[in-house]
Structure 1
């Protein structure tokens, strides 16, 4: 039946199997996982040990308190592998888990979404959606429905909201009907609204000389958590129109591009949602690419925009000589790929902080429509350099991982791959810790901090493209601990698994556990397909 079913989606295959067998598809039949015999523990969103969504909070702080974890600088060397899950037919592990009261919610490249016991890895439930789920699942409580809900962003730009206890689908919706629209950033829920960022793969499609570039434009949408009703949908530029013909004789459409790759952050006091945008795909460029954008939470109106790099047009295939038909005048590709963070400092100053692939970090004043408070360079940056996937902060200090593996924007600055601690009151760099060198010429191995980081009271956890996970002292940057994830693993689901580059996702710390995704083959890095679950041995 393989040939007959080749054109079916995963959802259709499961529906057909359930019809033929007269039974519901079980998790162990889908992914080789054991079905949990115990009931799922009660979900409680107020527990200190939770890690919910991408940033573990509305501000994308990526911080876990001492009340939320027993793991600290004195015992991190006592972590042991509790279990490992392999991702089938994958060269990248890029779906960050969520943990609510020892239940792990996690997507996968195959479109399977799991609710699992953190201690054993058994599955409470498993569902399948048509495409990859690379965004972190967000769990929210609906008072109206009296249910805990799991909000899932599927890669083809559909949102699924399911009962977090059972996996039952309650509603789903397509966000943007552009064929190149994608969901890569995690949805965020606040006061009954689901805020959904929209990114795009047209940057790759436009790398083909025959592609009519370009029609996608970055956008954000909000939905009612209880019903799925669309509350607003805001495109950050005008609809593209034909503005000319390129050297291949194909039409050129503009403005376009400026995808929103990452989870938004919430400013409840000002009723704003903040997001960062990517570069334009065609010219004329817009004034909202490579920008920090503040959206009104109720209407979706863009209240203010701060553009960090103007006239930045870039698609795959761009070359410095401008020979590609879709890229005659390439920009530096310095988008904001990392989530925006926001907080109130100890001096009372409210601040919005953005890091760019140009290796610059900006402190903006939300009370003054994004006026610049400070601007700090932390490397030379580039298309795969600078700040890539995510910063973290605690108190007045923002911790900034820098890749600097490419030098498109080399302005005479030295490469600074590693970790930077910045005082958010002043923009001053408090310390810089170079990424430890562990590659020794191994193919595909790179010493760079591209992945998002995670902070506790006395640890900064940073994953390197070398496959090593490092722990630094947050006060000094000193190296405290390391673990090489590049090895083969026995798995609980029988899928052969190995580790690789640490990129795209960061460590999740909850109670006695730490979860690490290892492997990321994109951009010439080391492949891998393992989810590592460590437990404190004490």
Structure 2
């Protein structure tokens, strides 16, 4: 499964919806207090309360959080989404009663913001020389490196970076979508399902689009005869194209019909084709012993960028087949899994697209899980795959009270969350390089069907450890951050513990994890290693560095679960700048905002400014809902 998204102890009933629900928390609506028993209360107590009250289930948000959801999202989850296994025991009338019960005691929502808060209605700056950071990795090779002419931030300037402006995502508890900089604007999605276009210099809002479901993917901008278009995916498995100037919907396409399909990785655009990676929440759905586990298979879909029409779908494995039943008679299927969580890399020279995959969900384990995979650009046919961890079949049932759907191998859950970087080496050779949750960094030869060039262990790895969201390269070194977070459930009230958005209380180990490494791209040799500087007895602190790494000439940026963003000298690893993002902010849009853990997306740099999201509530990590913009001396 994706990094930082496993259960630490799960009941098998209401939990199957919790991940989807937890990413959709938005402002509730107002109702007066009413002491009359609600017809949905008894149904809720019978079918859901055992999971959603008292912190009984790690992934299940408590009732108060469910009451913050719009009624239509709760109904969707019970009817079609991850709670459909619970919803199937209820009539449509009863589902309506539960939905109305959850919304009956909600508090007032903030008034909607205007479509635009910018005084200057200036158009997008479409000049190619205007600084930009497009998509996840800034280029189709996913290097996460910004050249000097685009960064416009020298190493000597970095220690002078100060907060320029802050933008709050209303009522969210995490800021997990990396911003894109293009045409003088910031394009960024939110856990609440909103996509914003902001002025890059001031943070004022140009427009807002409501996708309806959470948006985690970075946004990719493309240009054609109709102008500039913003492409992204949501947590319902829909891909979108918006007019980047106005925010108006151009097209929307359902990529994969599987009920558990979601889009987490940014789409990659090349030659008029949008390549969309698809991941899945089926690994969580498997916690319910009544769920027929499992049938999702990871894929990349190639879409016509102009129309949204699907040209091909390239799956990592053949369709799942019946493999028997579990102990209560529920049908079982396999192989399954191999979700693609990150943005793929495009290789125009060989006409291939590369991705990394997640673990298998069921027996038999797939040969293409925990792997590098290559698809033909024209047809979507799987050209080759190279598996890094064999036999890794795992789903959330393995840590649930009812383990009926747990595969015999039970993990170790060493999937990839990192994009494969396509890197040029000496003498015309090339490498695909990515880190894995096993704690290994791998380099493969894309010109010889993924033959292994080198492997380097930088950590011990675990379900939440190893390399989580990706490395960066400046052509001289590969820069890799290590998670290896230590985390455990503890009783409520434990000193230094943090209540997660899923309702349980967790404590992070202040002495376990973290560190930034520079590796030689040709050999994997460690050039330098800088340990995390420590938590200084800060309650609930972890030194783990899970967020994606970003590089500019002479400088490397890495964020941590402690809420700090640090800049390192690229040649020595010395820390040259350190900012603590965990505090309240006065925002340009007036939304209440607070910083938290840095995880998932990394910072982006363009036009002399650095942008980073802060806040990633999960397993004891610190919630937050703010996009921060830094500039030299805050000017």
Asked if 1:395 corresponds to 2:491, the answer is: no
The structure-2 alpha-carbon separation of the partners of 1:321 and 1:362, relative to structure 1 and needing over 3 Å to count, comes to farther
Match of 1:280 in 2: 360
Match of 2:603 in 1: 507
Give 1 or 2: higher helix fraction.
Answer: 2
Measured on the aligned residues, the alpha-carbon RMSD in Å equals 2.5
**Does the 8 Å contact 1:221/1:231 carry over to 2?**
yes
The CA deviation string for residues 270-327 of structure 1, in whole angstroms up to 9 with x for no partner, is: 1111000000000101111001001111110111100001110111242499955424
How far did 1:442 drift? 1.0
Match of 2:529 in 1: 432
Match of 1:459 in 2: 555
SS in 2 for 1:476: coil
Output the CA distance in 1 between the equivalents of 2:266 and 2:585.
28
Match of 1:326 in 2: 406
**Which of 166, 189, 192 is matched with 2:269 structurally?**
189
Output the CA distance in 1 between the equivalents of 2:414 and 2:379.
29
The structure-2 alpha-carbon separation of the partners of 1:433 and 1:252, relative to structure 1 and needing over 3 Å to count, comes to same
Match of 1:166 in 2: 246
Output the CA distance in 2 between the equivalents of 1:534 and 1:247.
56
The structure-2 alpha-carbon separation of the partners of 1:125 and 1:415, relative to structure 1 and needing over 3 Å to count, comes to closer
**Which of 228, 231, 249 is matched with 2:311 structurally?**
231
Match of 1:376 in 2: 456
SS in 2 for 1:351: strand
Match of 2:117 in 1: 35
Counting matched residue pairs gives 514
Match of 1:21 in 2: none
The structure-2 alpha-carbon separation of the partners of 1:161 and 1:274, relative to structure 1 and needing over 3 Å to count, comes to same
The CA deviation string for residues 18-50 of structure 1, in whole angstroms up to 9 with x for no partner, is: xxxxxxxxxx96346752232334433733621
The structure-2 alpha-carbon separation of the partners of 1:224 and 1:325, relative to structure 1 and needing over 3 Å to count, comes to closer
The structure-2 alpha-carbon separation of the partners of 1:48 and 1:118, relative to structure 1 and needing over 3 Å to count, comes to closer
Once structures 1 and 2 are overlaid, which stretch shifts more, 325-334 or 124-133? 325-334
**Structure-to-structure mapping, 1:200-219, within 5 angstroms:** 200-219=280-299
Output the CA distance in 1 between the equivalents of 2:592 and 2:625.
8
TM value normalised by structure 2: 0.77
How far did 1:242 drift? 1.8
**Structure-to-structure mapping, 1:218-367, within 5 angstroms:** 218-319=298-399, 325-367=405-447
**Does the 8 Å contact 1:439/1:446 carry over to 2?**
no
SS in 1 for 2:613: strand
The structure-2 alpha-carbon separation of the partners of 1:397 and 1:325, relative to structure 1 and needing over 3 Å to count, comes to same
**Does the 8 Å contact 1:502/1:520 carry over to 2?**
yes
**Structure-to-structure mapping, 1:126-141, within 5 angstroms:** 126-141=208-223
**Does the 8 Å contact 1:157/1:182 carry over to 2?**
yes
**Does the 8 Å contact 2:177/2:218 carry over to 1?**
yes
**Which of 546, 549, 574 is matched with 1:478 structurally?**
574
Output the CA distance in 2 between the equivalents of 1:493 and 1:327.
48
Asked if 1:95 corresponds to 2:177, the answer is: yes
The CA deviation string for residues 99-124 of structure 1, in whole angstroms up to 9 with x for no partner, is: 01321111111211111111222222
**Does the 8 Å contact 1:246/1:326 carry over to 2?**
no
How far did 1:3 drift? 8.6
Output the CA distance in 2 between the equivalents of 1:329 and 1:276.
21
The structure-2 alpha-carbon separation of the partners of 1:43 and 1:327, relative to structure 1 and needing over 3 Å to count, comes to same
How far did 1:531 drift? 0.9
**Does the 8 Å contact 1:345/1:396 carry over to 2?**
no
Output the CA distance in 1 between the equivalents of 2:531 and 2:29.
51
The structure-2 alpha-carbon separation of the partners of 1:407 and 1:426, relative to structure 1 and needing over 3 Å to count, comes to farther
**Does the 8 Å contact 1:95/1:108 carry over to 2?**
yes
Output the CA distance in 2 between the equivalents of 1:322 and 1:167.
45
How far did 1:403 drift? 0.6
SS in 2 for 1:68: helix
The structure-2 alpha-carbon separation of the partners of 1:271 and 1:434, relative to structure 1 and needing over 3 Å to count, comes to same
Give 1 or 2: higher strand fraction.
Answer: 1
How far did 1:466 drift? 0.5
**Structure-to-structure mapping, 1:115-130, within 5 angstroms:** 115-130=197-212
How far did 1:396 drift? 3.3
The structure-2 alpha-carbon separation of the partners of 1:439 and 1:96, relative to structure 1 and needing over 3 Å to count, comes to farther
Match of 1:24 in 2: none
**Which of 241, 258, 269 is matched with 1:178 structurally?**
258
The CA deviation string for residues 390-432 of structure 1, in whole angstroms up to 9 with x for no partner, is: 1101113111111112599xxxxx9762111111111111111
**Structure-to-structure mapping, 1:497-536, within 5 angstroms:** 497-536=593-632
SS in 2 for 1:38: coil
